[in-house]
Structure 1
């Protein structure tokens, strides 16, 4: 098994098809004057087949099958680790709710990938709707579009894994320009597509270069979402405390105070390894398992350059070495199949699924998790991550986990069943 970023996967897939693809561009201003949001799903092809019998049952099984390298997660093992109920009041968790997922470009195999994933793991088939507020993009299967397609499959499959009874509304921006994605979020909010929303993308704050118009545009939408009682989540990024800048540097939209920023952890629960339940996902500081493929990344989380936020609000499994199994059918030929996925972009849609489960259980809108996280932590409803750091080669200081809140993992990771019980009293 070989480590492969989405950029390398795009080039390899194109080469196999006889196409010529140039290197992916760096962050840059888009033609409409905004900036370009980017995703960076961290993916490694597994050797597992696509039938239930071929897939590992959980992290310990996965470790044994991969020579001690990947403690990968299935829907069943994730639910066990975070005490996520499969059913609530006799119905699949999330019933009556809609999870909104916002991505760019879309994927030609989003629906079929979700169906394959659901069948493989014994989940009910999902009720998926797809919206194109800026028009349906033309799919070319290359470069940046391939990365977004992979992200789309990750987002909808794992929102469904956590809330199998919820409907999923996938809102696809026509491109990855900041204004296009911001308009897609506004479309979801204006049309009240659901009570929870996930954004698994971001832009390093140092690259905004004073583009306050884009930040202001997004914030106005988040204000409206908050007024509607919507729970809004975003990934905290995967390049550590500095996003490659060499100094503390968070990411938008995670840095917005009305958005719940989801940091990343190494999830060891169920692996049999002599480790805490979770540590900070920070491969450069303390790479997990045998780290045979070397460092993949580290959770974002640092004081914002643009807002008062000091880092992540909560956290969730994010390391590729403890990553979630996700099906990709757009790769072509033998490249199709299940992949190990890591990154904080895996945590954002799963926290959205958790919010849908809570709404189902309580019969009301949870709203922003930021309003509850500290009290949940104080009541032992969030696991306090106290080990690890998100330092990087370009910013060795980084930020370490501590007792209580910290920049990489916020107030911690959820004990969903206990949260639901506390809110249902």
Structure 2
């Protein structure tokens, strides 16, 4: 999918990228209660009663239909045995099992031959019922409790009481942070399983909190005193619905595993489980987009699909501000999977853990994924300065690792549909390692917040550049896995330093958290240069983007008289004067006092006659045609047209062309816009081609509501299975709103919305010259 800016750029290829050359950052609110699709031409009106509007342009790559519908597999393993209940020692005394040896249970010979890959509790029961009773039981499964895993990896010990915690203690449990678990299908017993797991192991109970399809986005900040658990059903376009997906025993097992071990790692973090309607790549991307709209937080993805040439086209889904993304590297041995291969995703591999209650040792788990990508270029953080990494031209995964062998597994509570009984299992797979790294990042962010620091965001910058390139710090923060392999290739074996099966290694969490809050890395603010266009006499307002670790202050140099910059980086000029100006914008870090500057070019032109965009309009017989004419003028205009076929009309004040019963054929229509103040006029020709009904772009929108001054966001889904790319044009964007491509959708954010009602007109034209229009209504009420 691709998009062009009004009056500007043409197709930009298959990559997903944003043009965002119209610099009026502005953002939206909630996705509302569902998604409405629009195909063909639809009506559009201008925003009103609030902020100024502008046109935005985004470029989106069209995900091939066969790829979007490809099935993704969860990455869990279960040892082929139903475990004895773990006992209640931790329930009686929190963390009682921490320094004890883990439980062991023998498996009969017949069951030991059963593959653990995506083995469900139902399948275990069926195999056990059919297995002969005879057997030596020489195979042993070792299973760890949450307290033992915390002790083995050096996580902060669980408190003896969950009431009266200090802010520091709560932060060490992940308080105030949100972890988004993205999975497919449904586990109707996820909350009950979490409750049983928490009660057994002395973890805090989570309050179940509803997030309805109409809840405004982004979500409010997470609680700093208790755990919240929510389940959200996503649509394939990244919206929300009240209808749960179908049950699937495999994905239900994955969901239970993800939820329980995120909670075991970060017990006070908010957990938002996002269930995609199916296990396709397109639907899971929609769920990630929904997490981005809900953010900030950590996105945990315990699934994978074989990488391909398409993976770069959806990388923007893993680039939202203040978000971190974690994914499993896979459980089929050496190999590269998406989404862990994305540069914006922390790829998590697996180990076999041995912990006696006092010491920990690990080897590579033979099933873990890892390797060199065939398609993704090497990211900036993977340099030859990292021990063992060498010089790369392509992305290498894994980045890090954690326990993943189901035979050195971790307890999992499962309740079958229609039952209230809990069965216990020894879980593994890189899907076990992934949610625990998500929990670690949440804890790191919470601890950083206690010292006034921002979130880690792209954690690889810290883990590679900030840790692994410093030998003593690397040795302290990571346990370097040097034994074991995940295949027979020359790079499949673990060795000193970075290796593909285990990445940088497994965490020594005490040192990791210390390093995360005391790293000496400093970065000067980076200001993005921009070019802005305006008209003399018409107020001009735009925002400047900056990347900085802390809050910044702003200043201008060489600014024309009357131009000012606000504390948020918004530049205002109430009465622009014609001319071209180069203004130097400086952002100064309030903590480090480092500064960065960039040139902003402001081009102001004298008033001109209105212009009307020419366009090729596609219609279909048997379907009412509507098209919003785009005119550019400093003042309101009236519209008229000539050469129109019988039955076609245009709104004099709106410029909306309607034709209730289009007739097949080709038509040339001249549309004239007249400035109501100056009397100047301009015309443009529309070529209307009416054909028989065919498929074309589909735009999924939902009304958005918010409150003035409170940040809002939303997602617009755009798809077209029959096209190679799609051009998207957006009009009526309120001042201050930003739009960016996110996978197969457009993410809208408005940091400081202004009261009013706005209608954004989305026009999509695909490579087959078929088009669609849809209106997104944004209602911002006064405080």
1:191 to 294, 307, 311: 294
Determine the structure 2 residue equivalent to 1:151.
254
- 2:67 & 2:338 partners in 1: Cα distance? 18
Shift of 1:169: 0.8
Shift of 1:38: 1.0
Whether the 8 Å contact between 1:240 and 1:398 is mirrored in structure 2 is no
Equivalent position SS for 2:373? coil
2:332 to 213, 225, 239: 239
Shift of 1:315: 0.4
Determine the structure 1 residue equivalent to 2:370.
301
2:495 to 371, 383, 402: 402
1:372 to 462, 475, 480: 462
Equivalent position SS for 2:181? strand
Shift of 1:133: 2.2
Does the C-alpha gap of structure 1 residues 368 and 33 become closer, same or farther in structure 2, counting only changes over 3 Å? closer
Flag structure 2 segments of 5+ consecutive residues without an equivalent: 1-63, 108-137, 160-166, 207-227, 236-240, 377-393, 519-783
Shift of 1:310: 1.6
What is the TM-score of this pair, normalised by structure 1? Answer: 0.77
Shift of 1:78: 0.7
Whether the 8 Å contact between 2:368 and 2:429 is mirrored in structure 1 is yes
Shift of 1:413: 0.7
Report the more deviating stretch, 364-373 or 261-270: 364-373
- 1:232 & 1:413 partners in 2: Cα distance? 18
- 2:420 & 2:196 partners in 1: Cα distance? 16
Number of matched residues? Answer: 357
Whether the 8 Å contact between 2:233 and 2:244 is mirrored in structure 1 is no
Superposed, 1:166-177 pairs within 5 Å as 166-177=269-280
- 1:69 & 1:403 partners in 2: Cα distance? 30
Deviation beyond 6 Å, 4+ runs, structure 1? 29-32, 64-68
- 1:355 & 1:30 partners in 2: Cα distance? 34
What is the TM-score of this pair, normalised by structure 2? Answer: 0.43
- 2:151 & 2:516 partners in 1: Cα distance? 20
CA deviations 1:136-181 (Å, max 9, x no partner) are 565654xxx2111110010011000010011101111111111100
- 2:497 & 2:479 partners in 1: Cα distance? 10
Equivalent position SS for 2:141? coil
Whether the 8 Å contact between 1:389 and 1:401 is mirrored in structure 2 is yes
Determine the structure 1 residue equivalent to 2:719.
none
Shift of 1:197: 1.1
Does the C-alpha gap of structure 1 residues 81 and 30 become closer, same or farther in structure 2, counting only changes over 3 Å? farther
Shift of 1:360: 1.0
Determine the structure 2 residue equivalent to 1:290.
none
- 1:64 & 1:156 partners in 2: Cα distance? 25
CA RMSD in angstroms, aligned pairs only: 2.7
Determine the structure 2 residue equivalent to 1:60.
101
- 1:335 & 1:239 partners in 2: Cα distance? 32
Does the C-alpha gap of structure 1 residues 253 and 32 become closer, same or farther in structure 2, counting only changes over 3 Å? closer
Shift of 1:90: 2.7
Determine the structure 1 residue equivalent to 2:285.
182
Equivalent position SS for 1:114? helix
Whether the 8 Å contact between 2:72 and 2:280 is mirrored in structure 1 is yes
Superposed, 1:34-45 pairs within 5 Å as 34-44=69-79, 45=81
Superposed, 1:324-363 pairs within 5 Å as 324-330=410-416, 336-363=422-449
CA deviations 1:297-351 (Å, max 9, x no partner) are x100011122121220000000001111010112665984111101000111110
- 1:65 & 1:265 partners in 2: Cα distance? 21
CA deviations 1:249-286 (Å, max 9, x no partner) are 3100011111000000001122689xx7111001xxxx
Superposed, 1:64-143 pairs within 5 Å as 69-85=140-156, 86=158, 89-91=168-170, 93-126=173-206, 127-134=228-235, 135=241, 141=247
